[in-house]
Amino acid sequence: MRGPALAVMAAAALALTIGFVIAFNATSTRANHIPYVVGDVFAGVGNGEIRHLSPTGTLIESLSTGSACDEQLGMAFDTTGNLYATSAFGGCATGEVYKFDNQGGLIGAFGSGYSDSTESIAIDAAGNVYVGQPDGTSDVLKFDSAGTPLDSFDVPTEDRGSDWIDLASDQCTLFYTSEGVNVFRYDVCTDAPLANFNVAPLPDTSYALRILPGGGVLVANSSAVIRLDSSGNQVQTYTPSLPVSDIFALNLDPDGTSFWTGDISTGDVFKFDIAGGTELLTFNVAPNVSLAGLAVYGEVTVAQPTPTPTPSPTATATPSPTPAPAALPPTGGQPDGGGLPWLAVAAGVIAIASGGLVLAYRARRVR
């Protein structure tokens, strides 16, 4: 019976190892933390989910805010690479903001005192965070890097609050849209409204905007993206190759020569060359609810130090749906507790114990 007994002990050790693997995968989040790479794309797709994608649209992992909000909207990165993401509408009573580290680990909720909804974020050179609110008070809120409230600005609005915001390099002039036909400006240093930036009304409803390093502005304008020069004149229109319902989110690429935008309903993402207007790339990110947020790691923002441009992978304008992996990467987004690699430790302990059983058995046979 000694041979069968050894087989039983080996089977038990194997079962224990498998149990540890299952438990580790169910409870550990350290393995889910994948460092961001310059050029990676982040898409807010709803139901608390933000998808971390490669520059060509391949899914790397899914981040979870844990929020009950229907939509994940405007996002921004601080100088250390932490990701800030707004969440609003649906199952949450007020707007929310969540903060992730630069590997996808959820640090937690950021800030407080939000009104009905939050939609956009801008971060200044000192690390202070501005949050735009389309509903409720419609005020723009200011926090320090720890989330402590510093100020609020009762900005003039059009159709819908302080919808999408961006901060100029002077650290004072806040540009924003209000789901109307204008690009507003507000001086957050003197707490006073300024003249609108655009010379003429924009052709359609305006959403996300980004200030260009040369002083112009890109605006997501429902059916296309509009470029305004440094004097506020409409000088270029970028029209996607695919039919769109609402061009909504927008961000600048780290290369300094291109930008990204997306259709809130279809989930189609587009990358354009700024100077020539050529569509460089398109892929689809099937949303849970909507593609309401789009960010790029290392993105150019004039209010923060300019990142070192890194060329993006070569791409064509041919639509290419996001590949569906055989098994989706596990959802990240929990605080990283650090510590030892417990799976390796457990496996080692089991291996040592199993080896001891075998040696003991052999010793008994020798005797």
Whether 177 has a pLDDT exceeding 90, the answer reads yes
Residues 58-109: tens digit of each pLDDT: 999 999 999 999 999 999 999 999 999 999 999 999 999 999 999 999 999 9
Predicted local distance difference test score (pLDDT) of residue 362: 43
Predicted local distance difference test score (pLDDT) of residue 104: 95
Predicted local distance difference test score (pLDDT) of residue 3: 52
**CB contact set of 339 (below 8 Å; sequence gap of 6+):** none
Q: Which band of pLDDT confidence, cut at 50, 70 and 90, is reported for residue 48?
A: very high
Give the length of the chain: 367
Q: Which band of pLDDT confidence, cut at 50, 70 and 90, is reported for residue 33?
A: confident
Predicted local distance difference test score (pLDDT) of residue 365: 40
Predicted local distance difference test score (pLDDT) of residue 30: 38
Over residues 205-210, mean pLDDT:
98
Q: Find the helix or strand (DSSP H, E) in which 357 lies.
A: helix 342-366
Over residues 267-288, mean pLDDT:
98
Provide the β-strand partners of residue 220: 225
Q: Which band of pLDDT confidence, cut at 50, 70 and 90, is reported for residue 251?
A: very high
Whether 250 has a pLDDT exceeding 50, the answer reads yes
Predicted local distance difference test score (pLDDT) of residue 32: 59
Lowest mean pLDDT among 5-9, 219-223, 250-254, 348-352: 348-352
Tokens of 278: 């050529």
Predicted local distance difference test score (pLDDT) of residue 222: 97
Lowest mean pLDDT among 126-140, 207-221, 339-353: 339-353
pTM: 0.78
Over residues 193-213, mean pLDDT:
98
Higher pLDDT, 312 or 42: 42
Give the closest residue to 333 by CA, choosing from 72, 157, 2, 21: 72
Whole-number average pLDDT of the chain: 83
